[in-house]
Structure 1
Amino acid sequence: MLRTTYQGGVAHNDAESATYTKVTWRLIPFLFLCYVFAYLDRVNVGFAKLQMLSDLKFSETIYGLGAGIFFIGYFLMEVPSNLALHRFGARKWIARIMISWGVISAAMIFVKSPTMFYVLRFFLGVAEAGFFPGIILYLTYWYPASRRSKITALFMTGIPIAGVVGGPLSGWILERFHNVNGLPGWQWLFLIEAIPSIIAGIVTFLYLDDSIAKAKWLSAEEKATLERNLASESGKIEVSHASGAFTNARVWVLCACYFGIIMGLYGIGFWLPTLIKASGVTNSLDIGLLTMIPYGVAAVTMILVGQSSDRTRERRWHVAIPAVVGAAGLVISTIVPAQPAFAVLSLTLATAGILGALCQFWSIPPAFLGGAAAAAGIALINSVGNLAGFVSPYVVGWIKDATQSTDIGLYCVAFSLVAAAFIVMTVPKRVVNH
């Protein structure tokens, strides 16, 4: 006899739960690993900065512009890339994305001038465009809304785990490989950390399935269960045509909300090593080890917030409250004494809050977008929001050059997070809480 359980008012029997467990073990660990590689290649410039700026005589403003210009290329290609994924399938398109970004990330070893730095960061953004929204779209092909928040959180823990793994790894590479074969540590950093992305891209082509129907590892009964659950919520989709994503007011509201959250994400992502160094830690490996703490706590927080959101079927407060907590952490980091313990504690609060808000945000757009509109809308929100990835590091870098302090820049980032919390609460409850 099948046992039936209830989650947020939705019934699930044992066979159905076992099917979703099978899908999750097949997809999420691999996609999670790919996201770790993606995020590591995107933000390892924050560690390279510890040596790169003095070697190349770059100012903080040049670094901030180069770190941020990635998102201009990302913005321009995001929607076309996601529509291409919807048309050609995730297997081919995600493989293409990963291989191309790995090659361009490795090419960062040739940077000699600001112009070369800007060009390669721009094309890294072009190459990676479509990866994250493509995966968010891909998950909607397998999971109904009632299960999606926790699954999205599991996938997106790739961000903090990239920090847990990448911090010590990047610090170790900078120290251990500095001047090996005449190359500085920052060049080795870009080269070594690009290789896993290229390998994962090749594996993606061989491993992923484009849809439930093409999954040979599922039985006919399991496929029918998955497809039936997706079909049952199709009536709740408000927009299904690609053009509708550009004219829907809620999509643009979510663009503004996501912009504020991403201001926080890259305020932390690009400046965490620098902020820890400013507290008195000078050794690159020690800085890398200390960055494990904020990201490790954030990974646990993301999963717990995702579980709470799916259990209660509530989405808006699960974005707003963590965003405000993240803002508080950033403000506190400017107030506490400049000592490593205080810096790590305040930045842990900030990182956990920001990443908690980020992962829950992505349970909202698929609640009312479907089909080609989901492909276009998710990409549009991600591309517009990620323009904050250009604004955040550039503004903080410019303010640091002008004032010799990051405090005002961090206040701006904190304000953006609070604004995002208010904006998400304007989305009607009935639209997102299912």
Structure 2
Amino acid sequence: MDTLYHRVSWRLMPFLFLCFVAAYLDRVNVGFAKLQMQADLHFSDAVYGIGAGIFFIGYFLFEVPSNLLMTRAGARLWIARIMISWGLISSALMFAGSAASFYVLRFLLGAAEAGFFPGIILYLTYWYPAQRRARMVALFMSGVAVAGVVGGPLSGWIMKTFAGVHGWNGWQWLFLLEGLPSVAIGVWTLFYLDDDIRAARWLSAEEKQLLENAIAADRQQQRDLPLAQVFGSGKVWLLALIYFLCVMGLYGVSFWLPQLIRNSGVSDVFDIGLLSAVPYGVAAVAMVLAARHSDRSGERRWHTALAALAGALGLVAATVWSDNTVVALAALSLATAGILSTFPIFWSLPTAMLGGTAAAAGIAMINSIGNLAGFLSPYLVGVIRDATHSTASGMYLIAASLLLGALLVVGAVRR
């Protein structure tokens, strides 16, 4: 079975990983665009925070319907639709000329992308049993870290090199050049991705049966609950709250990392992009190692809690030593590694508990509620920064959210 799953992983994971790299670039390049567009369009930090975060309102509203539609339309068609639409809208952000247009386009971007992440998490349950899933989610989610490694230098280079070309600002070229690849990958999805094991023409009938037997055995441990019962489940709401608190940390880092590096004394946008790759590079390794260890030991709660705690400590240290570039970068590396390592292990909890339509709805519900923190986190930091002219209080708030999430995982979640 190991050889067969190795083959499946080489077929699926590089492609899904590439999709998530494109998704995350389109989601957080607004953090780099801020370094120029804020001055060009005369946005306050609060306006930027609302625009960055309103993405998640659209995401929240359309997340559950999108995941339920995927179970009907099929993963191949639905994921392709999601990627093509978000790529076009992300590129259209180059035409944002006011706060209102910025808000509208960011909202539409969230609505277009809704369903992608929970759709992939659900898709992985079609292929992998629980004991193999955390490491696959980690490989998929390492796209976040690699997007940071590649996206930082790339974004800085685009903004510096293309500034003024054809009369467009660097941030406009950033949105255009980082949005179009998603459209191309979305078209590729139509020809490459299979809806499930049964549709995979690259597997023999015997191989399909072996994989389906493993999934069938796994599903005996899951519950396919009515949708009303899923939405009313205290366990699902608890997991959504924990995810919300962890996402506060994720987007606190994602949207404000360039600004935090600038605060340490680095001014050139290309240098900021290069340095921002360091925390994500560390995180790419840490999250895969943490997920692999969690799969081997079968332990989830303490792995998730300790990763969140490391994220909180890193943010506090980066804030305390914010004027020292070397120490701040090391602390931000710890914070990013800890925060990103929570997610692949966390997703082993709901996917082991829910199956069938309940899994589609429950995963989407947890993700949509949790990602509301993507609105709240940049908005609160922006408001606090406008009021105090410092990011320190905002970072302490995000660290506290991670600490509370760690405590809830240990104290409230049972095996």
> Any idea what the Cα deviations from partners look like across 1:218-254, whole Å, max 9, x if unmatched?
1111111111111112221134433332121110000
Asked if 1:312 corresponds to 2:312, the answer is no
Of 58, 61, 75 in structure 2, the residue corresponding to residue 90 of structure 1 is 75
Distance in structure 2 (CA, Å) of the matches to 1:385 and 1:416: 12
Q: Residue 158 of structure 1: CA displacement?
A: 0.3
Q: Residue 38 of structure 1: CA displacement?
A: 0.3
Q: Residue 41 of structure 1: CA displacement?
A: 0.2
Q: 2:281 is aligned with what amino acid?
A: G
Q: Residue 81 of structure 1: CA displacement?
A: 0.2
Of 82, 91, 103 in structure 1, the residue corresponding to residue 88 of structure 2 is 103
Q: 2:200 is aligned with what amino acid?
A: A
Residues 405, 84 of structure 1: alpha-carbon distance in 2 compared, 3 angstrom cutoff: same
Asked if 1:384 corresponds to 2:369, the answer is yes
Distance in structure 2 (CA, Å) of the matches to 1:334 and 1:402: 17
- After the TM superposition, which residues 36-55 of structure 1 pair with which residues of structure 2 at under 5 Å, given as runs? 36-55=21-40
Q: 1:150 is aligned with what amino acid?
A: R
Q: Residue 180 of structure 1: CA displacement?
A: 0.6
> Any idea what the Cα deviations from partners look like across 1:291-320, whole Å, max 9, x if unmatched?
111000000001000110010011111110
The match for 1:71 is: 56
Asked if 1:364 corresponds to 2:349, the answer is yes
Asked if 1:292 corresponds to 2:277, the answer is yes
Aligned length: 415
- After the TM superposition, which residues 237-316 of structure 1 pair with which residues of structure 2 at under 5 Å, given as runs? 237-316=222-301
- After the TM superposition, which residues 137-148 of structure 1 pair with which residues of structure 2 at under 5 Å, given as runs? 137-148=122-133
Distance in structure 2 (CA, Å) of the matches to 1:279 and 1:191: 29
- After the TM superposition, which residues 129-168 of structure 1 pair with which residues of structure 2 at under 5 Å, given as runs? 129-168=114-153
Find the residue that maps to 2:336 and give its secondary structure.
helix
> Any idea what the Cα deviations from partners look like across 1:160-181, whole Å, max 9, x if unmatched?
1000000000000000000011
The root-mean-square deviation of aligned C-alpha atoms, in Å, is: 0.9
The match for 1:114 is: 99
Distance in structure 1 (CA, Å) of the matches to 2:72 and 2:233: 22
Q: Residue 80 of structure 1: CA displacement?
A: 0.1
Residues 34, 247 of structure 1: alpha-carbon distance in 2 compared, 3 angstrom cutoff: same
Tell whether the 8 Å contact from 1:242 to 1:375 is kept in structure 2 after alignment.
no
Q: Under a length normalisation based on structure 1, what TM-score does the superposition of the two structures give?
A: 0.94
Q: Residue 116 of structure 1: CA displacement?
A: 0.3
> Any idea what the Cα deviations from partners look like across 1:125-174, whole Å, max 9, x if unmatched?
00000000000000000000010011110000000100000000000000
Tell whether the 8 Å contact from 2:155 to 2:273 is kept in structure 1 after alignment.
yes
The match for 2:320 is: 335
Q: Residue 358 of structure 1: CA displacement?
A: 1.7
Distance in structure 2 (CA, Å) of the matches to 1:238 and 1:79: 18
Distance in structure 1 (CA, Å) of the matches to 2:65 and 2:163: 40
Q: Under a length normalisation based on structure 2, what TM-score does the superposition of the two structures give?
A: 0.99
Q: 1:34 is aligned with what amino acid?
A: C
Deviates more, 1:220-229 or 1:71-80: 220-229
Structure that is richer in helix per residue: 2
Q: 1:23 is aligned with what amino acid?
A: V
Tell whether the 8 Å contact from 1:68 to 1:389 is kept in structure 2 after alignment.
yes
> Any idea what the Cα deviations from partners look like across 1:72-130, whole Å, max 9, x if unmatched?
00000000000001111100000000000000001001111000000000000000000
Q: 1:380 is aligned with what amino acid?
A: M
The match for 2:337 is: 352
The match for 1:174 is: 159
Distance in structure 1 (CA, Å) of the matches to 2:12 and 2:343: 21
Distance in structure 2 (CA, Å) of the matches to 1:361 and 1:299: 16
Find the residue that maps to 1:236 and give its secondary structure.
coil
Find the residue that maps to 1:25 and give its secondary structure.
helix
The match for 1:189 is: 174
Tell whether the 8 Å contact from 2:301 to 2:413 is kept in structure 1 after alignment.
no
Find the residue that maps to 2:267 and give its secondary structure.
coil
Give the gaps of 5 or more residues in structure 1. 1-15
The match for 1:4 is: none
Distance in structure 1 (CA, Å) of the matches to 2:228 and 2:189: 30
Distance in structure 1 (CA, Å) of the matches to 2:221 and 2:103: 44
- After the TM superposition, which residues 196-235 of structure 1 pair with which residues of structure 2 at under 5 Å, given as runs? 196-235=181-220
Distance in structure 2 (CA, Å) of the matches to 1:244 and 1:88: 24
The match for 1:373 is: 358
Q: Residue 334 of structure 1: CA displacement?
A: 1.3
Find the residue that maps to 2:255 and give its secondary structure.
helix
Distance in structure 1 (CA, Å) of the matches to 2:85 and 2:117: 15
Distance in structure 2 (CA, Å) of the matches to 1:337 and 1:353: 19
Q: Residue 428 of structure 1: CA displacement?
A: 4.6
Tell whether the 8 Å contact from 2:223 to 2:358 is kept in structure 1 after alignment.
no
Q: 2:270 is aligned with what amino acid?
A: L
The match for 1:404 is: 389
Distance in structure 2 (CA, Å) of the matches to 1:195 and 1:424: 39
Find the residue that maps to 2:166 and give its secondary structure.
coil
Tell whether the 8 Å contact from 2:263 to 2:322 is kept in structure 1 after alignment.
no
Tell whether the 8 Å contact from 1:242 to 1:374 is kept in structure 2 after alignment.
no
The match for 2:46 is: 61
Q: 1:361 is aligned with what amino acid?
A: F
Q: Residue 339 of structure 1: CA displacement?
A: 2.0
Distance in structure 2 (CA, Å) of the matches to 1:79 and 1:193: 27
